[in-house]
A and B are shown apart, each in its own frame.
Chain A
Amino acid sequence: MARMKFLCDADRCIECNACVTACKNEHEVPWGINRRRVVTINDGLPGERSVSMACMHCTDAPCAAVCPVDCFYTTEDAVVLHSKDTCIGCGYCFYACPFGAPQYPRVGNFGTRGKMDKCTYCAGGPEADMTEAEYVKYGSNRLAEGKLPLCAEMCSTKSLLAGDGDIIADIYRERVVTRGYGSGAWGWRSAYGETVSV
C-alpha cells in the first residue's frame, strides 16, 4: 500500500482558493469549518508565497497521541482518520497539530466544542465505505472509488500534489531541478520528520 502524502509546490500556487472551495463543496463541510486553507506568507512583499494547507496525515500523528478517547486511526494508506462517534470535543488535537488542521463547530471548551472535523484525504471515516452515514459525517470517500483527493486533482497549476509520498516527492524534485528553484516541501519536516532534498 502507498504512503499517501500532500505536497504543496508554493512556487506554483496562485492563491486561487479553488482547493478550499472544492473541498467544502465535495464534502458539504459545515459553515465556519475549512478543511483546507491557503496561507500567504509575506503577503504583498517581494518573494511572497502561498501554501495550501490541510491535515498532512502525519507520521506518528501527534493528534492521535493526545486524544483522550483514542479515536484516531491510521489507514493502510497512512491516512489519519478519526471517529466522530467517539470524539468528545475536548480540543486537545488542535493544540497537538502542527498545522491547525482539527476544527470544531463551537469555540471555547465549556461543555464541548462539538465533534472535531478535519481533512480526511477524501477517504471518509470508520463507517462502511461510500455509505450515506459516512458521507454525512465525513464527506465523500474518493479513495474508495480509486480517486485521489479532489483538491489536488483539480488544482489548475498542479501546485498541490497528492498521492504516494515517494512519487510526489520525485515529481517535486524533478520540477526543482528543471526550473532551478523551489521554496521547499512546506510542512514535511513537521509532518513526516523529513524533507524533500534536491
Chain B
Amino acid sequence: MTIFTKMSRVIAVLALGLFAMIAQPQASQAQDIINPTAESVTEDALMEALNGDAQVQGRVSIPDDLSSGLIKPANRGWADTHGGPVRTVNLIAVVGMIVLLVAFYAIRGKIRIDSGPSSERIQRFSATERFAHWLMAVSFIVLALTGLNLVFGRAVILPVFGEDAFGTLSAWGKIAHNYMGFAFMLGLILSFVYWIAHNIPDKVDMHWLSKGGGLFVKGVHPPAKKFNAGQKGIFWSVTLGGAALSFTGVMLLFPELAGGEAGWQLYQVIHGVVAAILTAIVIAHIYIGSVGMEGAYDAMGSGEVDLNWAKEHHSLWVEEVQGKSSDGTDDGSARPGTQPAE
C-alpha cells in the first residue's frame, strides 16, 4: 500500500462524517497534491462504517427500491448458517431420535398390556377430538417431510431421482408446505382448545416423572389422569413449537411483514431449528402411539381403548370417568359419549 492510498483512506473516512469543508489539521498535509477524490466515498470506508447487518445503501434510478442496496456482506453470514448449523441441527435431531428409538425398541421391546387385553373397551377420544388430532397430524407430517426435503433433498433425493424428478417433487412440496401450514394452524388451535384443561402440570406428574413413566421397567405403572406427564410434554411442545412455526412460517410467506432482510433471515433460522426439534419430538410420539405400545393407537384410531390398558396407563382418569358415570353426575366436563363399556 502506498503512502498515498493510506492518506486518501484517512481523508475519506473523515470526509464521510464531515461533508462540510471543516478545516482539519490533517487535511492540510494533502493540499499540495491535486486529488479530485479527496472527499470521495471508498468501499473500504463504507464497509468499515457498516454496523452489524446493515448494507451499503445508495440510490437507483430504476423504479425498484429493493435494488438500492449495493453490498450486503451480512447475507453471507445467513447463507453459512443456513447451509451449515441449520442442516446439522436437523440431521442430529432427526437421525439421533430415530437411533434412540431403535435402541429403545431393541432393549425394551413393545410395551404390552401387562394384565392382558380385557373384553371391555372405554371411550377415550370423541370424534371431534380425533378430527383435530388427525388434521394436525396429517398436515404436520406433510409439512415435516416437505420441509426436510428443503434441507436434505439436495443431498439425499437429488442423487437418486435426478434433477427433473427432484425439481418437480420440490416444486409440489413447496406448494403443499405453503397451503398445509394453514390446516396445521387450524388443527393446532382446535387441539389446544380441546385439551388445554387436561394438560395443566400438577403433583401427579412429578410422581409419574420420578418413576420414569414406567416406560423403562416392566410392570411399573405410575398413576396418571387423562394425560400423563409425558403426554403433557408433547402437548406443550406441539403447542409452543407449533405456534413458533406458524408465526415464523407466515413471516417467511409474506416477507413484507418480516421487517427487512435481516428479520426474514432470523425467522428462517428459527423456523428451521424449531422444526428440527419438534420433528424429533413428534417422531418419538408417533413411535409410542403405534409400534411402541400395545393398545395405544386405538385411542386415536377408533377412539375406544382397552379397559386394562386404560387402567394401567391412566388409572386416575378411568376412576374419574367411571365414577362419574355411575353416580350419573355428568358435570359437562366429561367427554361426550364417555361411558364405561358394560
Contacts and interface: CB of A to CB of B under 8 A. Distances in A.
Contact of A99 (B2, B59, B72): B72
A165 interface: no
Given A88-B171, A181-B37, A186 B43 contact: yes
B82 A37 contact: no
Contact of B58 (A43, A68, A190, A195): A43
A111 B173 CA distance: 10
A119 interface: no
Contacts, number: 193
A109 B15 contact: no
A63 B72 CA distance: 13
A47 B175 CA distance: 48
Contacts of B12: 47, 183
A100 B82 contact: no
Contacts of B268: 95
Interface in B157-185: 158, 163-164, 166-167, 170-171, 174-175, 178
B35 A69 contact: no
Given A39-B69, A86-B164, A99-B72, 14 more contacts: A48-B41, A62-B83, A66-B78, A70-B154, A71-B167, A83-B163, A88-B167, A88-B170, A88-B171, A96-B78, A97-B72, A109-B254, A111-B175, A198-B2
Interface of B: 1-2, 4-5, 8, 12, 15, 19, 33, 35-44, 46-47, 56-62, 64, 66-73, 75-76, 78-80, 82-83, 149-151, 153-154, 158, 163-164, 166-167, 170-171, 174-175, 178, 252-256, 261, 264-265, 268
Interface of A: 11, 15, 17, 20, 32, 34, 37-43, 45-51, 53, 62-63, 65-71, 83, 85-92, 95-100, 107-112, 176, 180-187, 189-190, 195, 197-198
